[in-house]
């Protein structure tokens, strides 16, 4: 079985590749191709994979990627929200046109194969397709109204996938990811960066800035759950989704106060002294527009599973990112 991961140098794409190499995906043998704009790397030398680089906004790149006729395509490549807002043209070309080019190449190979080639196409969408006013919890029928270019681009991808799937050119699904925490590494300029920093930095013994109110509530999943969502989509019979191929995914709804309580429960009460409150009206104006909670009934009934709690999300980070012995709870 041929598997293609587009966006394999990113945090999620890279873990997905490692997960497939380690645990497989189904009982069939795998032929894995990793693609990104920069060279995707894996922790160890792996001879069984193909590495490619290029710009997904270039139609010739899409043509080359699909020419190998992968059975399962994970399309995770995108420029992130802040970059898509700052660079309008680049965002639309990479995030929307890039997805369209891939679907067009799949359609051409589908037709050239007399309908035999209809790959699975697993696409990471985002809760950024939504905007307020929100109900307390967003249900599966809540209407998308993006108020960022990133959200609009992701929504266009969803609409394309739905129509290409309805015509049976592709067998697609769009997974609307929660905000993924705790991200390893260093703080970046994303408005959501602090959601990882306020956990990661104190665990590493460093101070973190909290730019918003403790009462702010949002919707989260761990990188481990993200990989689980993608793996589950890859083995799921997608016809169970019916004509609506976009899914709100499960997650954990949690206020910042709750997050700090979880952090203290795992690492001791003193750790939260490393979280420094420093209001940032710009960040606050962005993140207060995000949804607080979801009721993802369709995804849950289809077997998608998120973390149990925010404590579990932090524990995943400790297990995966902190070297044994460097962190001792309490």
Active site residue 317: no
In the numeric block, the tokens 């046109």 are attached to 97
- What is the side-by-side strand order in the sheet with 252-255? 179-180, 217-221, 252-255
Q: Does 106 help bind a second copy (rule: CB under 8 A)?
A: no
Q: Is 58 helix (H, G, I), strand (E, B) or coil?
A: coil
Q: Does 297 help bind a second copy (rule: CB under 8 A)?
A: no
Cβ at position 63, least distance to a second copy in Å: 16
Q: Which of 117, 123, 134, 150 is catalytic?
A: 150
Tell me the site size for a second copy, rule CB under 8 A. Answer: 22
In the numeric block, the tokens 């149990």 are attached to 308
Among 28, 69, 167, 240, binds a second copy (CB under 8 A): 167
Cβ at position 162, least distance to a second copy in Å: 7
Q: Does 69 help bind a second copy (rule: CB under 8 A)?
A: no
Q: Would you say 155 or 306 has its CB closer to a second copy?
A: 155
Helix (H) or strand (E) holding 260: helix 256-267
| End-to-end alpha carbon distance in the chain | 46
Q: Is 232 helix (H, G, I), strand (E, B) or coil?
A: helix
Q: How far apart are CA 233 and CA 243, in angstroms?
A: 16
Cβ at position 325, least distance to a second copy in Å: 49
Q: Would you say 14 or 97 has its CB closer to a second copy?
A: 97
Q: Does 273 help bind a second copy (rule: CB under 8 A)?
A: no
Q: Does 244 help bind a second copy (rule: CB under 8 A)?
A: yes
Q: Does 114 help bind a second copy (rule: CB under 8 A)?
A: no
Cβ at position 109, least distance to a second copy in Å: 14
- What would you measure as the largest C-alpha separation in the chain, in angstroms? 65
- How many CA atoms lie within 13 Å of 160's alpha carbon, on the beta-carbon side? 22
Q: Tokens representing 8?
A: 């394999």
Among 45, 114, 141, 323, binds a second copy (CB under 8 A): 141
Q: How far apart are CA 141 and CA 122, in angstroms?
A: 21
Q: How far apart are CA 325 and CA 126, in angstroms?
A: 36
Residue 246 pairs with which residues in a beta bridge?
174
Q: 49-53 and 252-255 as β-strands: parallel, antiparallel, unpaired?
A: unpaired
Q: Does 53 help bind a second copy (rule: CB under 8 A)?
A: no
Site for a second copy in 86-105 (CB under 8 A): 88
Q: Does 277 help bind a second copy (rule: CB under 8 A)?
A: no
Q: Does 134 help bind a second copy (rule: CB under 8 A)?
A: no
Q: Does 240 help bind a second copy (rule: CB under 8 A)?
A: no
Q: Give contact residues for a second copy (rule: CB under 8 A).
A: 88, 107, 131, 141-147, 149, 152, 155-156, 159-160, 162-163, 166-167, 243-244
Active-site positions? 150
């Amino acid at each position: 079985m041929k598997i293609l991961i587009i966006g394999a140098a990113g945090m999620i794409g890279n873990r997905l590749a490692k997960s497939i190499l380690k645990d497989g995906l189904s009982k069939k043998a795998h032929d894995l191709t990793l693609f990104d704009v920069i060279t995707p790397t894996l922790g160890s030398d792996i001879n069984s994979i193909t590495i490619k680089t290029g710009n997904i906004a270039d139609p010739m790149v899409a043509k080359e990627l699909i020419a190998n006729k992968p059975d399962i395509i994970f399309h995770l490549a995108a420029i992130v929200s802040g970059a898509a807002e700052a660079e309008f043209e680049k965002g639309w070309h990479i995030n929307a046109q890039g997805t369209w080019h891939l679907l067009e190449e799949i359609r051409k190979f589908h037709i050239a194969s007399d309908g035999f080639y209809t790959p699975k196409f697993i696409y990471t969408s985002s809760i950024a397709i939504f905007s307020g006013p929100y109900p307390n919890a967003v249900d599966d029928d809540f209407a998308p109204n993006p108020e960022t270019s990133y959200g609009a681009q992701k929504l266009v991808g969803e609409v394309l996938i739905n129509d290409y799937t309805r015509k049976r050119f592709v067998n697609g699904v769009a997974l609307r990811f929660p905000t993924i925490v705790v991200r390893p590494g260093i703080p970046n300029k994303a408005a959501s960066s602090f959601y990882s920093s306020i956990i990661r930095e104190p665990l590493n013994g460093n101070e973190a800035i909290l730019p918003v109110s403790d009462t702010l509530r949002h919707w989260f999943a761990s990188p481990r759950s993200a990989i689980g969502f993608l793996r589950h989509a890859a083995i799921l019979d997608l016809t169970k989704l019916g004509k609506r191929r976009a899914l709100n995914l499960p997650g954990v709804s949690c206020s910042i106060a709750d997050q700090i309580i979880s952090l203290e429960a795992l690492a001791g009460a003193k750790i939260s002294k490393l979280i420094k409150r420093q209001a940032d009206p710009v960040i606050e104006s962005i993140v207060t527009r995000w949804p607080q909670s979801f009721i993802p009934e369709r995804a849950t009934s289809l077997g998608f599973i998120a973390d149990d709690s925010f404590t579990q999300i932090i524990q995943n980070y400790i297990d995966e990112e902190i070297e044994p012995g460097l962190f001792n709870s309490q």
